[in-house]
C-alpha cells in the first residue's frame, strides 16, 4: 500500500479539509507541517512538489494532488472507510453545490477577514527586506497581491465591506439550510460538513453578533456535533498556533450575542 504524505498548515480552512477527511476515513498519513507565516510553502523544497506554492498538497505513492476540495473527493473514493459522499444523486448534487459555494463565494470572504485580522499582523513586524524577498518568491501573481495587502494593510474599505456582507448572507443561508436536516447537504455526515466546518468553526467567536445560540441555533448545533467527533478532536490537536484554540468556544454550552471569551 502506498504511503500518504500531507503537506499542510493549521487544521483550518483549506489545510484542515483533507486532514479531517483522512482522519474520518481512518487513513494513516505522514504529516508535513508547513509554517505559512514563515513562508515555508514558497521554499524550493516544497515548490518541487507543488510549483504553485499553495497548500495543502498530498502525495500518494507517485501521485501529487493539490486543491483541498479535490483532495477530499480523492480521499473518499480511493480509501476504505466510512463513505463521505451520499448515495442519493440529489444529495450528492447538494454536497457539490455547497462545496462550490463555500470555496468560490463564501470562503474568500472569510479568508480576506482572516488575513487582515490574523495573518497580516502576525508577519508585518518582521524585517522589511525579508518580507519583500519572501513576497517576490511567491509563484502566483494573485497570491503576491494578497500577501502585500495583508502585510501592508492594503485591503480596501469596499473590499472588506463586501466580504462582511457576504459573510452575513452566508450565515443566514447556512442557518436556513441546517434547519432542514441534521447535516448541511444530507441526512448523513459528508464532505460538505468537513468543508463547512473548516470555514465556520470559529463563527461564534469571530462574528458573535451574527452567529450565536440565540440567532443561529442550527449552526451552533451543527458545529458542536462536528466538534464532538473523535476525528475532529484528533485533527485539531495537530495545530501549533493560537489560531487552533478558537475551536474550543464550541465546548461552551451556551454562546450569547456579542459574547467575548
List per-residue pLDDT tens for the chain, 261 residues long. 789 999 999 999 999 999 999 999 999 999 999 999 899 999 999 999 999 999 999 999 999 999 999 999 999 999 999 999 999 999 999 999 999 999 999 999 988 888 777 777 888 888 889 889 889 999 999 989 988 888 888 888 898 899 999 999 999 999 999 999 999 999 999 999 999 999 999 999 999 999 999 999 999 999 999 999 999 999 999 999 988 899 999 999 999 876 544
- Which run of H or of E encompasses 17? helix 13-25
CB-based contact 74:18 (threshold 8 Å): no
* Residue 138 cell numbers, joined: 511567491
* Residue 68 cell numbers, joined: 483541498
Distance (Å, rounded) from C-alpha 5 to C-alpha 137?
A: 24
Amino acid 147: pLDDT: 85
Strands 63-66 and 30-33: unpaired
Distance (Å, rounded) from C-alpha 229 to C-alpha 196?
A: 15
**DSSP state at residue 244:** G
In which residue are the cell numbers 522589511 written?
128
Distance (Å, rounded) from C-alpha 68 to C-alpha 102?
A: 12
Distance (Å, rounded) from C-alpha 25 to C-alpha 12?
A: 18
Amino acid 261: pLDDT: 44
Q: How many CB atoms lie within 10 A of CB 135?
A: 18
In order of start, what are the domains of the chain with their CATH numbers?
A: 4-78 (3.40.30.10)
26-53 per-position pLDDT tens digit: 999 999 999 998 999 999 999 999 999 9
CB-based contact 232:223 (threshold 8 Å): no
- In our burial notation (b when 16+ CB lie closer than 10 A, e otherwise), range 152-183 reads eeebeeeeeeebeebbeebbeebbebbeeeeb
* Residue 43 cell numbers, joined: 521554499
Amino acid 162: pLDDT: 94
- Give the residue from 100, 101, 88 showing the smallest Cα distance to 188: 88
Amino acid 11: pLDDT: 96
In which residue are the cell numbers 451574527 written?
210
Amino acid at each position: 500500500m502506498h504511503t500518504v504524505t500531507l503537506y499542510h498548515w493549521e487544521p483550518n480552512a483549506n489545510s484542515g479539509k483533507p486532514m479531517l477527511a483522512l482522519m474520518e476515513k481512518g487513513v494513516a498519513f505522514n504529516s508535513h507541517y508547513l509554517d505559512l507565516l514563515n513562508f515555508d510553502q514558497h521554499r524550493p523544497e516544497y515548490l518541487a512538489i507543488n510549483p504553485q506554492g499553495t497548500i495543502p498538497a498530498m502525495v500518494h505513492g507517485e501521485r501529487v494532488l493539490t486543491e483541498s476540495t479535490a483532495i477530499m473527493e480523492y480521499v473518499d473514493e480511493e480509501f476504505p472507510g466510512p463513505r463521505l459522499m451520499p448515495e442519493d444523486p440529489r444529495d450528492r448534487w447538494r454536497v457539490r453545490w455547497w462545496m462550490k459555494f463555500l470555496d468560490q463565494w463564501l470562503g474568500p470572504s472569510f479568508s480576506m477577514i482572516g488575513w487582515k485580522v490574523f495573518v497580516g499582523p502576525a508577519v508585518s513586524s518582521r524585517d522589511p527586506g525579508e518580507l519583500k524577498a519572501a513576497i517576490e518568491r511567491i509563484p502566483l501573481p494573485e497570491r503576491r497581491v494578497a500577501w502585500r495587502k495583508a502585510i501592508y494593510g492594503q485591503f480596501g474599505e469596499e473590499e472588506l465591506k463586501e466580504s462582511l456582507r457576504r459573510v452575513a448572507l452566508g450565515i443566514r443561508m447556512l442557518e436556513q439550510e441546517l434547519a432542514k436536516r441534521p447535516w448541511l447537504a444530507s441526512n448523513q455526515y459528508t464532505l460538505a460538513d468537513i468543508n463547512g466546518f473548516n470555514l465556520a468553526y470559529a463563527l461564534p467567536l469571530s462574528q458573535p453578533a451574527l452567529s450565536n445560540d440565540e440567532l443561529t441555533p442550527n449552526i451552533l448545533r451543527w458545529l458542536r456535533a462536528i466538534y464532538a467527533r473523535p476525528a475532529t478532536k484528533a485533527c485539531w490537536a495537530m495545530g501549533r498556533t493560537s489560531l487552533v484554540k478558537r475551536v474550543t468556544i464550541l465546548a461552551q454550552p451556551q454562546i450569547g450575542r456579542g459574547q467575548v471569551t
